[in-house]
Amino acid sequence: MKHLLYFFFMLAAIPAISQEIEWAPLTREVQINTGDSLIKARIMINPTDFKVVDEYHYYWHSKGQINKNMGGYTGDILHGTYLVLDSAKRMITQGQFNEGLKDGTWKRWFSNGNLRSIENWKDSRLNGEFKTYSAEGELLSIENYKNGIVVNKEDKTFKIFSSSNKETSDSIPEPTTNPELQQD
């Protein structure tokens, strides 16, 4: 009876063992010092087979540089976290790559630490919300993208009207109280 139970247990385990295991690509970190910034990026060390799409922008590493090509790459494909720090070790850019393509949420900062933008990417194309901010941290605009195309835009600006209530100029940004803060 014990042997019969053992036999049925082994039969039940065969489908679980025979399922195909999907391996994540192995990566390693590269660091590139450009003098005024430090780039930390992950590159694939065992590239998986993936189809290169002519319309996509691929990011890759070679000879101490990050490169970008549409429809192809040579060198080590970026895959995983990507971070750019300024000389004071403040974040400038943070994002993710998936098989050389920008993917997920990307953030950029002004040197004062305030957000410059928040972008969403899928397959190297803007997809979802793209928010831009002033150096003072005020939200300037929200754009929504689908496959790299703007589907709607909310501009956080105002229009000037004449005394006859007719618009006299295009939309202009809201003024700031300190013009020196606009630098960056």
pLDDT tens digits, residue range 143-178?
999 999 999 877 765 444 444 444 433 333 333 333
82-98 pLDDT tens trace: 999 999 999 999 999 99
User: Per DSSP, what are the bridge partners of residue 60?
Assistant: 67, 77
Residue 100 tokens, joined: 């050389």
Instruction: Give the pTM.
Output: 0.70
Q: How far apart are CA 124 and CA 126, in angstroms?
A: 7
102-159, pLDDT tens digit by residue?
A: 999 999 999 999 999 999 999 889 999 999 999 999 999 999 999 999 998 777 654 4
Helix and strand element counts for the chain (H, E): 1, 11
